[in-house]
Structure 1
Amino acid sequence: MKQHQFQPSLPPPANTVGIVGWLRKNLFSTPLNSILTLVMAYFAFTMIWSFTDWGLLNANWIGTTRDACTDTGACWVFISVRWDQFMFGFYPSQELWRPKLFYWTLAILVALMAYEKTPKRTWIFIFFGSAYPILMAGLLEGSMFGLPVVDTHQWGGLLVTLILATIGIVVSLPIGVVLALGRRSEMPIISKLSIAYIEIWRGVPLITVLFMASVMLPLFFSEGVQTDKLIRALIGVVMFYSAYMAEVVRGGLQAIPKGQYEAADSLGLSYWQKMGLVVLPQALKITIPSIVNNFLSLLKDTSLVLIIGMYDVLGIGQSANNDPDWLGYSTESYVFVALVFWVFCFGISRYSIYLENKLNTGHKR
């Protein structure tokens, strides 16, 4: 009896795989989708080409005065002339090495902490959260190292934005974790106090909190005690976002199956061991998107400090727009500020996606 011979499998049709297959499946699957794709592609191309023509091809890059700019494209000369103000505010020019050193050390430490194979990484985290802010505060202000004192009202631009965002992120997360644990505590006093704190701060807008921190907070200190405006803004931002962070962490705690708590109890772990070794690592892992979303909101909300007389990078842009010598170039200013915020927000977002993929333990369906 002759044995049946199977023919080798044929490759799939060329128009169903690769780029062509993806286009047919997602953009040109039906006549209506094809029409919508072409219309949207036309508008997208028009907008991209217009911006490229204005912002790159016909833009003005070189010069020091308004005369170097033409009406055919963007005047990035305006940004280059105001570069130091955008980066450092009104910091004395002869002392700019200090904020520059802060930028470089911050970038190096963040890179070392983000790279998982960095030796002594835990100690770097501890240094970043404890000694580093004190050292940088002393360096920037100057009182600690015998340098000329630079008052914080001279700080501004990206310097203020990064200080507010970095300290707000680093401090609000652990406070939020404590508040979340307190809200779920079985001790009525701790639970009620945590609930009251969270609901009060979540019930008022950040603008109100900044006004209160700037105007009312000094009333709670002893007579003659002076509090810096930047410190007051930091306290307001931390208190406000720690309440939001607490609710995010609480959602993660509630998502952990009850069996995890019972398993930790069966091992004889104490409350803090159970939370630190079993529950919190899982809760923080599944709440990474929400935590990062709060971080991004905090970074962008730093622009609200303008209402209490502090000039972050957006405030510097708005003040530069009022310069009589450069009237009419506000578009370039806002585009540059938007690009600065986008770069930081995009970087944080991509790193959070990397963390999600790295910490994924196979629970995806």
Structure 2
Amino acid sequence: MSAIQDVYRIRTQRSSAVRRWVGLGILALIIACLLRWGLLKSVFITASPDDCRAASGACWAVITSQWKLVLFGTYPFAEIWRPSVATAVLLGAFVIPLIRPSLPALACSWAIALVIATGLFDGRLFGLTYVEPHDWGGLPLTLLLSEAAILFSFPIGLAVALARCSGRVMLRSLALVLVESIRGVPLVSLLFFATLVLPLFLSGFSSFDKLYGAATAIVLFNAAYISEVFRGGLLTVPRGQFDAAKSLGLRWTDMNRLIVLPQAFRACAPSLVNQAVGIVKDTSFLAVLGIFDFMNSAKLALIDVRWRGNFIEVYVVVGLTYFLMCTAVSILGQRLSSRLERPAKVDDAITPVALASIVTAGSQS
């Protein structure tokens, strides 16, 4: 019996090794073909698309020759320096939270970056030429909407989650109706409602720009989902934590800030990072409204019939750009998550002096 088992084990190991080497060989072949198509036989700069047709590789010249349309969409070419600076500011807003990962640093850096970037896009804040919102576009607009949606949807979602867990029936019912009514419809329906239907019912808002309406719809849609993530984290906190905080005399705000929310954040941090990545990808839905975000502005490079056959290269660049943006958001979220997990290692090291100070503060309040 043991000999039969040894033979079976050897055959299993050999078949596993064969499958592993075959898989590695296929992967190496795919990588070699991609390198040959994307680098070795590709064309990066050319004055005529005919050179691309003669080559057997990728035609990256469609990007290098149409880069203004791909990156900035319909923004006036004479003012391209403004979205360029805005892009640098928005990307720089990721640096401070990466160096010192904390929620206050993230909120402050992103808020300042959004004000500066919006002022550069609009122009009136810095005394520049005014540019209509419907002329904004390209990669800077996608970055602006992504950071704005993340910055506003998370606080709104947290407030709705706290309302869902509140002891007041009216507040809890309103939050329930808000969340379920938003989660029950697709994002595209909300976008069309906010940009086409809602202005018809708002007197005095006939010039309601669809860019602001679309941004509001994205914020509310993601806030509804984020509120459920936060509520799941709040439900993981043991009931004894609430009772202990109340026995110390802590107020509702101090109880949530010092005891409840830190534990809830640690429990739902991975899901929150996933929601942040989803917000970045949700901005691509603006293309259905005719807003020239990065996805839609990249298609402008294909308007010229000479480049229309090189759509694969355009979408490869778009996909890689979204991949880099989502990866940056994911890394930032992981750094913040690790920062939130550190205090959990020292929870048991609270000294009697610190505990006495908490009790004193609670009794004085």
Relative to the length of structure 1, the TM-score reads 0.85
Q: Which runs of 4+ in 1 moved over 4 A?
A: 121-124
- 1:150 aligned residue (131, 144, 157): 131
Trace 1:115-126 onto structure 2 (pairs within 5 A).
Answer: 115-116=99-100, 122=104, 125-126=107-108
- Residue 70 of structure 2 corresponds to 86
> CA, structure 1 residues 122+173, in 2 after alignment: closer, same or farther (shift >3 Å)?
closer
Question: Using the alignment, how far apart are the partners of 2:116 and 2:25 within structure 1?
Answer: 54
Matched, 1:295 2:266: no
Matched, 1:55 2:30: no
> CA, structure 1 residues 128+349, in 2 after alignment: closer, same or farther (shift >3 Å)?
closer
Matched, 1:77 2:61: yes
Question: Using the alignment, how far apart are the partners of 1:193 and 1:360 within structure 2?
Answer: 33
Deviation at 1:127, TM superposition (A): 5.9
Matched, 1:30 2:30: no
Where relative contact order (Cα < 8 A, 6+ residues apart) is larger, the structure is 2
Greater shift after overlay, 61-70 or 298-307? Answer: 61-70
- 2:324 aligned residue (336, 343, 350): 343
- Residue 20 of structure 1 corresponds to none
**What is the root-mean-square deviation of aligned Cα atoms in Å?**
2.2
- Residue 66 of structure 1 corresponds to 49
Question: Using the alignment, how far apart are the partners of 1:224 and 1:291 within structure 2?
Answer: 34
- Residue 143 of structure 2 corresponds to 162
Deviation at 1:349, TM superposition (A): 1.9
Matched position secondary structure for 2:126: coil
> CA, structure 1 residues 29+91, in 2 after alignment: closer, same or farther (shift >3 Å)?
farther
Deviation at 1:208, TM superposition (A): 0.6
Matched, 1:101 2:85: yes
Q: Deviations over 1:228-285 (max 9, x none)?
A: 2210111110111100000010111111122222222122111111112211122122
Kindly indicate which of the two structures has a greater share of residues assigned to helix. Answer: 2
Letter in 1 for 2:108: I
Deviation at 1:122, TM superposition (A): 4.3
Letter in 1 for 2:129: P
Greater shift after overlay, 197-206 or 319-328? Answer: 319-328
Deviation at 1:56, TM superposition (A): 0.9
Identity across the alignment (%): 35
- Residue 42 of structure 1 corresponds to 25
Deviation at 1:124, TM superposition (A): 7.3
Trace 1:288-327 onto structure 2 (pairs within 5 A).
Answer: 288-327=269-308
Matched position secondary structure for 1:360: helix
> CA, structure 1 residues 325+45, in 2 after alignment: closer, same or farther (shift >3 Å)?
same
Q: Is the 8 A contact 1:89 1:159 kept in 2?
A: no
- 1:242 aligned residue (220, 223, 234): 223
Q: Is the 8 A contact 2:154 2:226 kept in 1?
A: yes
Letter in 1 for 2:38: G
Q: Is the 8 A contact 2:222 2:279 kept in 1?
A: yes
> CA, structure 1 residues 308+315, in 2 after alignment: closer, same or farther (shift >3 Å)?
same
Letter in 2 for 1:248: V
Gaps of 5+ in 1: 1-27
> CA, structure 1 residues 288+75, in 2 after alignment: closer, same or farther (shift >3 Å)?
same
> CA, structure 1 residues 233+265, in 2 after alignment: closer, same or farther (shift >3 Å)?
same
* Corresponding pairs, count: 333
Deviation at 1:65, TM superposition (A): 2.9
Gaps of 5+ in 2: 1-10, 346-365
Matched position secondary structure for 2:153: helix
Letter in 2 for 1:244: Y
- Residue 9 of structure 1 corresponds to none
Question: Using the alignment, how far apart are the partners of 2:283 and 2:106 within structure 1?
Answer: 26
Matched, 1:215 2:196: yes
Deviation at 1:80, TM superposition (A): 0.9
